Amino acid sequence: MAIQEANVIVDLQADAFQSLFYETLDYHRSDVAAFYQETSTVLWNGTRITSAAAIDRFFKEMPVSKHTVTSYDIQPMADDLLVTVAGNVRYGIDQEFAFHQTFILQRDRRNLPPSNRYFIVLDTFRCHKQRV
């Protein structure tokens, strides 16, 4: 596969991932846990959340949100993907805040051959104090 063709595939994966993730987080919160594995870790504004059950509970307890992605990038890392996202988020009726989020996505290796499905193994989120 040519490098340019591989880059296009990776770009499409990033676009699909960020679009699906934030739509699920904002409108189908009960389904967010499906993006994670039992061994996944979330660092949310410095708070560490581990285990699928704890991650599921954390997201379900969050206030209603609306994310607007302003930029994102994806970089392949061997068989994994590094995704960085920046944008604005509104919680409930609060004003918007800037946010930055980084994900490491790992290919689902539970079946052979490995599928094209990825899980979030590490998710770091920072909501910036300044309001937009």
Q: How far is the C-alpha of 123 from the C-alpha of 48, rounded, in Å?
A: 10
How many folded domains does the chain comprise? Answer: 1
Q: How far is the C-alpha of 128 from the C-alpha of 31, rounded, in Å?
A: 26
* Residue that wins the pLDDT comparison between 114 and 30: 30
pLDDT at 30 over 70: yes
Phi-psi region of 51 (alpha: psi -120 to 50; beta: other; left: phi over 0): left
Average pLDDT over residues 106-130: 81
Can you give the residue range of the structural domain that contains 27?
3-131
* DSSP H/E element including 82: strand 80-91
Give the domain CATH number at 9.
3.10.450.50
Please state the pTM of the whole predicted model.
0.85
The pLDDT value given to residue 11: 56
